[in-house]
Structure 1
Amino acid sequence: MRPRSLALAASIALLPLTAASLGLSSAQAATTPNAAAPRVALPNTVTPAVAHSQKKGDVAAAEQLSVAVGLKLRNTADLDKFLADVANPGSSVYGQYLTPEQFAARYAPTQADIDHVVRYLTSHGLTATVSANRQVVDVKGSVDQIQAAFATHESAYFDADAQRNFFANDAAASLPSDVANLVEGVSGLSNHTVRTTRLAKPNNATPNATPSGFGPSQYDGAYNLNKVGADGTGVKVALWEFDGYKSSNLSTYDTQFGLSGPAVSTVSVDGANYDSAPGQGQGEVELDSEIVRGVAPKATQLVYEAPNSDQGEIDMAAKIVADNQVSVISISWGSCEPDTVASVMTTVSNSFKQAAAQGISVFSASGDDGSRDCTRSTSGSTVKAVDYPASDPYVTGVGGTNLKVSGTTYSSESAWSTAGGGVSTQFSKPAWQTGTGVTGTMRTVPDVSSNADPQSGFAIYTQGTSAPGWQVYGGTSAAAPLWSGYIALFNQKAKAAAKPNLGEANPAIYKVANGTSYGTTFHDVKTGANQDFSTKTGYDQVTGWGTPVADALTTALLGGSSSTGNTVTVANPGNQNGTVGTAVSLQVSGTDSAAGQTLSYSASGLPAGLSISTSGLISGTPTTAGTATVTVTATDTTGATGSTSFTFTVAGGSTGCTPAQLLGNSGFETGSAAPWTTSSGVVDNSSSEAAHGGSWKAWMDGYGSSHTDTVSQTVTIPAGCKATFSFWLHVDTAETGSTAFDKLTVTANGTTLKTYSNVDAAAGYTQRTFDLSAYAGQSVTLKFTGVEDSSLQTSFVIDDATLNVG
């Protein structure tokens, strides 16, 4: 705890939050929850597992729980209309996607409604945090406080079918009617439902020293992904994960197949960050990343990592749409619908609606247990069931096939016998789900498919039983990131053609599939079945509409060829060579079959330091050695395009990089902040927290009350330099347990390098190091942001920070 005059602050922190302490106006403060209002039971807030599990006793009253309270959207009829219009090329608002701020202003709960719910929750001693998209209130407190707030009873149970212990509320949660009217559901009262991977391996799978199974050239060639004329440049993809990865494994994959692109980075949700010690799901995360890299090597991948829980899933969905960094989300984890709390699905679906409104496509694996998705979970193999979140109407469910190739060319395809598919019991059939083979009144999955059978699996480099190695993986977990990578290519092409992101994919996919180009844009898979459904001509509940013919599908999704029939041709300049530190000037030119057209040029895959003008001049000074595949696209005024690709090899050369340490006042020993910029009181020499070296350090947080501290400095990394950022970090805390309540986020130019929390507390200092070579030739702002909640201090102490170049 900070050794400052905080006795008064500490005593205030122990009191229930009042309207004044929440910073509310007197008008808002008058809107207090009605303690006498009748309580209303919240439907779908009890896990189905309670019905067949054995109660073992009460959960200890002092045990700490964290619960997510989902809030209802407003103006939902208008939202539904907007989502239909923004995906309709014939609408005046087509492609005019919203920002998170615009979505919140139109459809999120009002601030007054949020305050009303928060006041009720904090009146029971719970701490409350509202998500950035204003749809979720995360609360934490003791079991006693939770039970009082939601009028529930928490018990310990044993599920004999699943052979696991869990806790759960015995009956539905309830709230006073004036609060309940604002609430979608309450999640986290049980820890039974967990998300599992949709990953499969051949029975004889063992790690090997060399790769076998499909590599990028085979699946890119089979599905014509290599003919789209894009590489993902400028597009960001979110990977939806409940485990972590090793960067070294991803690098080995890239090296093996000659791929290069932006470094994969982690975005922590609710304090989760598994990368230092990935668990059983490591293979899933690395499969997802490596497949996206193989399809769209230049796309930026953000790995969102969340606790594997109902609350973790809800908070991950809310954070991705609030961050609004990506245009594609790839999901390879799921749970069968009957075993998932319905209010959780509804709350997450609200975030998926926001994704659609913001132009974000979502692709999710349809499962690996066929039409009996609960086979390996509670409800069992006798129940026809589909996988969630693939069943959500705002998500594109991706099924699985067995692909055969001839070299790198498509040969044939059949359904994978355990590819997930069937009929949802949760979601009604959306208006766009029409066509040959589409029946019934409920949502059916999958929508599309691609290779997933482990017998025709993918070469993946990941952790084996004792060491990393090459393995062959399949599962619809491989199919979802393949489609997500393809949409990254599409969005790059769309931007070059001055058209919007694909956004919610299903309306566009079903429109193409129901049109005259279906036979040329999809491989219609007509052989094979899962337990209850067979493939057929057109749509089926095993492979959906089939697998992509990516170049033709791209043309169709972009609206087809130009009505004038223009042909744009870009002259190939031949393979190019350059040297780090030596200027480049290369003019690319093209021709148009129509007279009077002006061509506008764009390029993907350019070596770092180079750019292209709209007139086709590639110029700049390369900063990094390596070989890249460059694709130059020319677009005329009618939207017709033409592309050409060539390699650009940059040799090391003499960079003139003088070894140096760039940060000023790196140990804070001047006794003041400059050239750092810090919040008040951070630079400190008190004995309560020792410095790593010398007497001074940056002491962030440690107040035991809601507080945010920042420390930042901006420097320029010379072109061609290797840059290493290091600092010494000591974390001490009064928090207990494995939940991250207080967090320190380290960023470079706004990109998260790492998030630490009270869970990382330890004696002494630990050195943390990051490679910032990707920022060579740029000005970079390094920033530490420490956020402390309303109770129990956590101190983040930083010292001896360096940024070494050489």
Structure 2
Amino acid sequence: MARLYNFPTGLDGTGQSIAIIELGGGFILEDLRTYFSGIGIDPTPEVVDVGVLGASNTPGDEADGEVMLDIEVAGAIAPKAKIVVYFAPNTDQGFVRAITDAAHDTENKPSVISISWGSSESAWRQSAVNAMNSAIRDAVLLGVTVTVAAGDNGSDDGVGDGQSHVDFPASSPFALACGGTRLVGDGATISSEAVWNDGPSSATGGGVSDLFPVPSYQSDAKVPTSVSTPGFRGRGVPDVSGDADPVTGYNVRVDGQNTVVGGTSAVAPLWAGLIALLNQSLGKPVGFLNPLLYGSVAGKGAFHDITEGNNGAFSAGPGWDACTGLGSPDGAKILAALGATPAAAPATASARTAPPQGGPKPAGA
């Protein structure tokens, strides 16, 4: 995957720390050793767990697949980075606290946070949206990039009401929302790449937020008005994308078994690993990356523009679209563009009123 996306060579994440947020499950070190040795990475990347509000690394439930996927994808991209997994209760408070603890962790000092959990905006309480959005904003103010999976249930985000919805916290204007593609390639050559859509329950999330207005960095992205809230021009989701189709997806090891999985759950740690490489090369964190990606980086041809396919209500096309964002990465070109670009400061953004909340779930649930 790193070769197909032309990730910069000669970098391994040395000196970097990648935070991964988990709301259940756990990892087994022996599985990690087997997986990484099988792909030629020895020694195994350093993986540590941090408990939040009484939660801990507890392998043995259905969330193990999410945990192992996140660690294995990030570690394969940046094998010398420290991977810090923050285990929190699957509650509003637990989710927010995990992000806050990661961003302020003065011992492990992550420069990027990967989140593969979320729910449709329509499932969140207003207070939870505000708290989560503030936690992500605080992280980027500290120079920590936050990558978030855009969801795996197409343009209705699994709501089933005939309307279009996007996942939160991917829709936070301070998050780097990660959508999904179907990538076909060999070695370092991409044969084709289209929107990942295997059906309503197995397709990239994406669309227009009903809670957050369009941020300034998307002012030229031609984000459509909301389908659910006529006349409201909301934040477009996703920002970027990467391979998410289980057919062309990721070889992982979970609970002693080798398997192939996909989903935007894999794209968030993929981008987190790339960001760790960028931070290593630049000698400083890229921080709030969104304005740079929509500005100077996109202008340097640093994305594979996805123009084929749809996620239900939205179709891919030239430039930004509500299926794959700006496109999938050309890592070396992104690094070259960032090398001559000053860092961007986050703007203020708050959410509109949100309806009652259900529990966050892995992007693939």
Residue-by-residue CA offset, 1:189-211 (whole Å, 9 max, x unaligned): xxxxxxxxxxxxxxxxxxxxxxx
Paired residues of 1:513 and 1:545 also in contact (CA < 8 A): no
Q: Distance in 2 between matches of 1:345 and 1:437?
A: 25
Cα deviations by residue, 1:546-583 (Å, 9 ceiling, x for unpaired): 001111111001217xxxxxxxxxxxxxxxxxxxxxxx
Maintained 8 Å contact 1:230/1:492: yes
Are the counterparts in 2 of residues 435 and 539 from structure 1 also a CA contact under 8 Å? no
The residue that corresponds to 1:426 in the other structure is: 211
Contact 1:415 1:525 in 2 (8 A): yes
Query: Letter of the aligned partner of 2:275 in structure 1?
Result: I
The answer (yes or no) to whether the contact 2:208–2:223 under 8 Å persists in 1 is no
Q: SS of the residue aligned with 1:315?
A: helix
Report the equivalent of 2:240: 448
Provide the rounded CA distance (Å) in 2 between the counterparts of 1:304 and 1:446.
24
2:222 counterpart of 1:437: yes
Q: Who is 1:278 aligned against?
A: 60
Residues 38-53 of structure 1 mapped to structure 2, 5 A cutoff: none
Distance 1:399 1:389, change over 3 A: same
Q: Which residue of 2 aligns with 1:459?
A: 251
Partner of 2:352: none
Q: Percent identity?
A: 40
Equivalences for residues 70-81 of structure 1 within 5 A: none
Match of 2:348 in 1: none
Distance 1:281 1:381 in 2: 27
Residue 470 (1) aligns with residue 246 (2) = no
Matches within 5 A, 1:72-221: 219-221=1-3
Query: In the alignment, which residue of structure 2 is the partner of 1:486?
Result: 274
Deviation at 1:443, TM superposition (A): 0.5
Query: Which deviations, in whole Å up to 9, do the C-alpha atoms of 1:425-476 show, x marking residues without a partner?
Result: 111111111334334421110000000011111101112xxxx211010000
49, 54, 76: which one aligns with 1:294: 76
Residue type matched to 1:482 in 2?
A: L
The offset of 1:381, in angstroms, is 4.4
State the SS of the aligned residue for 1:220. coil
Q: Secondary structure at the match of 1:351?
A: helix
CA distance in 2 between counterparts of 1:367 and 1:262 reads: 27
Q: 2:152 pairs with 368, 377, 397, which one? A: 368
Contact 1:434 1:510 in 2 (8 A): no
Alpha-carbon distance in structure 2 between the residues aligned to 1:363 and 1:385: 19
1:316 and 2:98 are equivalent in the alignment: yes
Q: How big is the shift at 1:508?
A: 1.0
Tell whether the 8 Å contact from 2:279 to 2:286 is kept in structure 1 after alignment.
yes
Q: What code does the residue aligned with 2:323 have?
A: V
Distance 1:347 1:406 in 2: 43
Give 1:220 deviation, angstroms: 1.1
Letter in 2 for 1:326: P
1:331-346 map, 5 Å: 331-346=115-130
Question: How far off its partner does 1:514 sit?
Answer: 4.8
Aligned to 1:97: none
Matches within 5 A, 1:680-691: none
After superposition, the Cα gap between the structure-2 partners of 1:381 and 1:455, relative to the gap in structure 1 and judged at 3 Å, is farther
Shift of 1:492: 0.1
SS at match of 2:218: coil
**Alpha carbons of structure 1 residues 513 and 542: separation in structure 2 relative to 1, 3 Å:** farther
The answer to whether the 8 A contact 2:306-2:324 is kept is yes
SS at match of 1:432: helix
State how far apart, in whole Å, the 2-side matches of 1:556 and 1:408 are: 21
The 8 Å contact of residues 120 and 168 in structure 2, kept in 1 or not, is answered as: yes
Deviation at 1:261, TM superposition (A): 4.9
**1:221/1:410 contact within 8 Å kept:** no
- Distance, in Å, in 1 between the alignment partners of 2:219 and 2:16 is 30
Corresponding residue of 1:347: 131
C-alpha contact (below 8 Å) 2:46/2:83 kept by paired residues? yes
Of 185, 190, 201, 1:405 maps to: 185
Which whole-Å CA distance do the structure 1 matches of 2:123 and 2:47 have between them?
33
Question: What letter matches 1:303 in structure 2?
Answer: V
Which stretches in structure 2 are left out of the alignment for 5+ residues? Answer: 198-202, 226-232, 342-365
Counterpart amino acid of 1:270?
L
Match of 1:542 among 305, 318, 323: 323
Give a deviation string over 1:372-411, Cα, whole Å, max 9, x none.
11x2xxx434231100111001100000000011234322
Give structure 1 stretches of 5+ with no counterpart.
1-218, 561-806
User: Aligned residue for 2:18?
Assistant: 237
**Contact 1:342/1:426 (CA < 8 Å) preserved in 2?**
no
CA distance in 2, matches of 1:541, 1:262: 35
Contact residue 228 and residue 550 of structure 1 kept, 8 A? no
Which residue of 117, 129, 140 maps to 1:356?
Answer: 140
Secondary structure at the counterpart of residue 371 of structure 1: helix
Measured in 2, the distance between the counterparts of 1:527 and 1:315 equals 39
Partner of 1:511: 295
- Does the CA-based 8 Å contact 1:261-1:300 persist in structure 2? no
Structure in which a larger fraction of residues adopt helix: 2
Please show how residues 557-706 of structure 1 align to structure 2 within 5 Å.
Answer: 557-559=338-340
Instruction: Specify the SS of the correspondent of 1:271.
Output: coil
Give me the whole-angstrom Cα distance separating, in 2, the residues matched to 1:250 and 1:514: 35
Separation in 2, partners of 1:488, 1:432: 23
What is the CA-CA distance between 1:539 and the residue it aligns to? 0.3
1:247 aligns to 2:32 (yes or no): no
CA distance in 1, matches of 2:105, 2:257: 34
| 1:682-761 to 2 correspondences below 5 Å | none
* Code of the aligned partner of 1:280: E
If asked which structure has higher relative contact order (CA below 8 Å, sep 6+), I would say 2
Q: CA deviation at 1:513?
A: 4.9
Q: CA RMSD in A?
A: 1.4
> Is 1:337–1:388's contact at 8 Å kept on the other side of the alignment?
yes
Structure 1 residues 437 and 228: CA distance shift in structure 2, 3 A: farther
CA distance in 2, matches of 1:240, 1:552: 28
Higher strand share: 1
Q: What do residues 670-711 of structure 1 show as CA deviations (whole Å, max 9, x unaligned)?
A: xxxxxxxxxxxxxxxxxxxxxxxxxxxxxxxxxxxxxxxxxx
In the TM superposition, what whole-angstrom CA distance separates every residue of 1:621-641 from its partner, at most 9, and x where no partner exists?
xxxxxxxxxxxxxxxxxxxxx
Inter-partner Cα distance in structure 2 for 1:279 and 1:336 = 23
Could you tell me whether the CA contact under 8 Å between 2:297 and 2:337 is conserved in 1? no
Q: Measure the CA separation in 2 of the matches of 1:247 and 1:494.
A: 31
**How do residues 513-528 of structure 1 correspond to structure 2 at under 5 angstroms?**
513-515=297-299, 517-518=300-301, 521-528=302-309
Give the Cα separation in 2 of the matches to 1:380 and 1:455: 25
Q: Aligned partners of 1:431, 1:408: CA distance in 2, in Å? A: 35
Aligned residue-pair number: 325
Q: Secondary structure of 1:297's partner? A: coil
